[in-house]
Structure 1
């Protein structure tokens, strides 16, 4: 499913260690660390008070911070005072959207590690920022547009893209089957003051949303268990379960406007699997392949888990495929010189093709 950033656990560990030191002597916190500390300490209080998971408590404390009060009636008067004391240490409006996103996602990551949820991992920040760069380039002439993430999870990819497109008016839609994750995404959107409409449902069931201009998604990889529902898709497997990531691509194409762009984070081997012929046929029939950007192997645990960004455009009358698709293999993000060379090559491609 979603690939966790290899750097995130290190950042989380450093933040927790710094918090331990704070209790011994004064420490200068970064804004992200300040917010994480409040999210974490108040979530711990609510987790014990409400007898729930850390992630559920995190959603509750996020709601409290948004409303500026303790809204849970079950909280004791003593803990209510403790919570209000912590909330009084911050003014959420003084933090940037990215500071809120990063601190909230660090707390979510801690909760995921505690509950061991391998299928609920976050898209690496570096990947999200690169997707936002690509969306900005393809939508450079658009002042505003609508965006869909059909596998939104906690919203990390969606918010990264929205937060980095500061010159655009973006109205987004997110859908996910997991109730806890979609609630965390909802709370995150409120705290970041982002315009997002959320649906808690299986996104491969009918989606009652208007067609959008952009789709971004870190696709859930694996088999879709509902063969009856899969039968409504062109990419239904001839036998056995269909690939969910294939069906998500088809569902996304159904819900995007003619000429709209789709940005999918997919396995590098997506066009080499046993069900790839149907995917190839669907993609050729309904879309133009704009490009494929292979992400650095250093972002992933091993080569088998490596992923790429697949860029498609839904066909429309008068539109044509690019003369040359954008095919890029990214170096390590830390290799500044190599990245600058790649970015220059990509800028040249956009000037020629767009």
Structure 2
């Protein structure tokens, strides 16, 4: 039954976005924003021919008659965004895969446990909001989330995504490498964009700036994240596997060791990527504080394919054992 709800919602989103695009009212992704707004306000708000409005109203009514959970909303919305991104030309329009988001959610819940206090979370490159909404949907404690996105279309998608899932998400339309007016948070989770950062005047204030030419945005964003994390707070980055192979890697490694305790590096399954050069990993850090200590043994592992349930369950058992032995987290 659940899949029927996801399929019904996806059909409504896809039909509306396609129709708006065909009528010259924006790109497919912009149409998705409008489709989400229509669903949130429970009305068709665009100026379209009467017969098209009638068709969209019928699809919308079907969706509104169903009880759809936040996770079902997220999955349907994600499928539509993925379709839109395939047609988009911007290279930065990409999404954290579902299995990766869910695995990071498990790791975040592991370090947070069932904390009763107020937990703040930051994503410095939220994109369409799939990763942060996965974390919010599966959190074992209440999270107050803050997120930055420089791309206006992606930001609008994240905004509608959060509204439809009834999430408390504070969104900022800003380049997160620039100075941000935000207090330190308990946890940072970011799927890092990769490439050169064009604003040399902004990069000048960073320890990880390049001595020649443009600085690397993924290095600057890691420094910003560490600076915006409370002492003892945790950071989870999705990083390219070549992160520590560049000319500036030594500088990055020294900075990370100075400011944080390196908890682990989990290589994502090779089967997820077209080739090894596009491979990624989850990099886990804890900002140094009075009661923190560097684990005797960092958690280093090659994750099995997320479709191999037994191998994955065995890996999670090993990871749980590591958390208990090294960080006293059960």
Contact 2:264-2:285 within 8 A present in 1 as well: yes
Residue 59 of structure 2: SS of its match in structure 1? helix
Give 2:274's match in structure 1, choosing from 294, 297, 301.
301
User: 1:92 & 1:229 partners in 2: Cα distance?
Assistant: 50
Q: Report how far residue 82 of structure 1 moved.
A: 2.9
Q: What SS is found at the alignment partner of 1:94?
A: coil
User: In the superposition, relative to structure 1, how do residues 46 and 240 fare at CA in structure 2: closer, same or farther (>3 Å)?
Assistant: same
Q: Residue by residue, what CA displacement relative to the aligned partner does 1:85-107 show, whole Å, maximum 9, x if unpaired?
A: 22101127611212111111111
> Using the alignment, how far apart are the partners of 2:241 and 2:65 within structure 1?
40
Deviation at residue 78 of structure 1 after TM alignment: 4.1
**Residue pair 1:65, 1:92 contacting (<8 A) in 2 also:** no
Q: Which segments of 5 or more consecutive residues in structure 2 lack a partner in the other structure?
A: none
For residues 325 and 29 of structure 1, the distance between their equivalents in structure 2, rounded to whole angstroms, comes to: 39
CA RMSD of aligned residues (A): 1.7
2:71 aligned with 1:64: no
Q: Per-residue displacement from partner, 1:294-317 (whole Å, max 9, x unpaired)?
A: 111011111111111000111112
Cα deviation 1:233-291 (Å, max 9, x = unaligned): 00001111111000000011111111110000001121121111110121011111011
- The answer to whether the aligner puts 1:343 opposite 2:316 as a matched pair is yes
Higher relative CO (Cα under 8 Å, sequence separation at least 6) belongs to: 1
Whether 1:118 and 2:91 are equivalent positions in the alignment is yes
Task: Please give the per-residue CA displacement for 1:33-80, whole angstroms capped at 9, x wherever unaligned.
Answer: 1111010111222223452111111101100100111234x3444433
Cα distance between partner residues in 1 of 2:66 and 2:161? 13
- Find out whether 1:211 has 2:184 as its counterpart: yes
Tell me what 1:37 maps to: 11
**CA 1:29–1:147 in 2, change beyond 3 Å: closer, same or farther?**
closer
CA–CA distance in structure 2, aligned partners of residues 141 and 104 of structure 1: 29
The 1:29/1:255 distance shift into structure 2, 3 A limit, reads: closer
**1:293 alignment partner, SS class:** strand
Match of 2:159 among 168, 186, 194: 186
State the match for 1:51 in structure 2.
25
Q: CA deviation at 1:322?
A: 1.5
- Does residue 251 (structure 1) correspond to residue 224 (structure 2)? The answer is yes
The runs of 5 or more residues in structure 1 that have no matched partner are 1-27
TM-score when scaled to structure 1? 0.88
Distance in 1 of aligned mates of 2:318 and 2:69 = 32
